[in-house]
Amino acid sequence: MKLTLKVWRQANATAQGEIKTYPLDGVSPDMSFLEMLDLLNEQLVTQGEEPVAFDHDCREGICGMCSLMINGEAHGPEVTTTCQLHMRSFSDGDTITIEPWRADPFPVIKDLVVDRSAFDRIIQSGGFISANTGSAPEANSVPAPRDKAMRAFNVATCIGCGACVAACPNGSASLFLGAKITHLGELPQGQPERWSRVVDMVGQHDHEGFGGCTNIGECASACPKEIPLDVISQLNKDLRTAMKQGL
């Protein structure tokens, strides 16, 4: 396959960025999208041009490190992560535009790499169950209803990649937030801190500069792990309950 790539290049956080165009030949349909970028970088190094910086690590769709807006879509046209997107989803002769996540709370570090530390700070604000090592009771002493445990698992599969934010016209992280609130709120162990958790996490979310949710749903359709939109309903419901309690 032969492609034309239009790639966002930006030297550092404060530099002015621009789209640069690169022709790329010899792309195999079996390559992952990131392997296609590896090929571009190998070509750039040969030409003496600095390779394109992009985040990636596990390349099996689970670590959440890879990102990229591909032709304006977070993680590209398929419901998966960029590392699991393969070139067979594109056609010979295509032009592909590749940009970093676009959201104020995710500032660009270089080229396609952004800073997502805001997500860590949201977790720090309450995305946990306080259980010091050694203090845990016998695991089976507290049964957890199977359907609730399954819902907890299904939303706990969030990989924290930030696609939901990048896809949202408001730059909201409500899907990320709702997934964690639902994961911990569905389990018996998560009940003691349930109401303070939602208040604290929403507060941090807003403090980081993420936007509000207006139920557009782009987040859920961009999510590579298919976190359902109803976690945001759960988030709002828990927040209402907490606020009624005066928290």
Partner 1 sequence: MAGSTLHDGLTPLNGPSNQISDDAQGFYVLGENIVDPVAPAGPIKDRWTTRKFENRLVNPANRRKLDIIIVGTGLAGGAAAATLGEAGYNVKSFCYQDSPRRAHSIAAQGGINAAKNYKEDGDSTFRLFYDTVKGGDYRARENNVYRLAEVSANIIDQCVAQGVPFAREYGGLLDNRSFGGVQVSRTFYARGQTGQQLLIGAYQAMERQVAAGTVEQFTRHEMLELIVVDGKARGIVTRDMVTGAIETHLADVVVLASGGYGNVFYLSTNAMGSNVTAAWRAHRKGAYMANPCYTQIHPTCIPVTGSHQSKLTLMSESLRNDGRIWVPKNVADCEKDPREIPEEDRDYFLERIYPSFGNLVPRDIASRAAKYMCDEGRGVGPQVAEIGPDGEQRMVRRGVYLDFADAIARLGKHGVEEKYDNLLDMYARITGENPYETPMRIYPAVHYVMGGLWVDYHLQSNIEGLFVTGEANFSDHGANRLGASALMQGLADGYFVLPNTIRDYLADGPFEKVAADHPEVVAAQRAVEERVSKFLAIQGTRSVESYHKELGAIMWEYCGMERTEEGLKLAISKIRELRADFWTNVKVLGASDNLNQDLEKAGRVADFLELGELMCVDALNRRESCGGHFRGESQTEDGEALRHDEEFAYVAAWEWGGDSNEGGQPVLHKEDLIYTAIEMKQRSYK
Q: Which of residues 163-192 bind partner 1 (CB under 8 A)?
A: 183-184, 187, 189-190
Q: Which stretch binds partner 1 (CB under 8 A): 17-25, 91-99, 126-134, 229-237?
A: 126-134
| CA 163 to centroid of chain Cα atoms | 4
Q: Which of 110, 163, 168, 178 binds partner 1 (CB under 8 A)?
A: 110
Residues 6+ apart with CB under 8 A from 90: 1, 3, 96
Which helix (H) or strand (E) element contains residue 154?
Answer: helix 146-156
Size of the site for partner 1 (CB under 8 A): 79
Interaction of residue 73 with partner 1, rule CB under 8 A: no
Give the nearer residue to partner 1 in terms of CB position, either 150 or 214: 150
70 in contact with partner 1 (CB under 8 A) = no
- 15-54: contacts with partner 1 (CB under 8 A): 28-32, 34-35, 38-39, 41-42, 45-46, 48-51, 53
Hey, what's the torsion of the CAs at 164, 165, 171, 172, to 10 degrees? 70
Nearest in space to 179 (alpha carbons), one of 164, 168, 166: 164
Asked whether position 123 contacts partner 1 by CB under 8 A, the answer is: yes
Q: Among the candidate windows 94-102, 157-165, 205-213, 236-244, which touches partner 1 by CB under 8 A?
A: 157-165
Restricted to residues 191-230, the positions that interact with partner 1 (CB under 8 A) are none
Closest distance to partner 1 from the beta carbon of 35 (Å): 5
Q: Do 70 and 85 form a contact (C-beta atoms < 8 A)?
A: yes
84 binding partner 1? (CB under 8 A): yes
CA 126 to each of CA 120, 129, 180, 181: distance values in angstroms, whole numbers, following the listed order: 10, 8, 10, 9
| Helix 117-124 × helix 194-207 angle, to 10° | 150
The reply on whether position 136 binds partner 1 by CB under 8 A is yes
Q: How far is the CB of 157 from partner 1 (least distance, A)?
A: 6
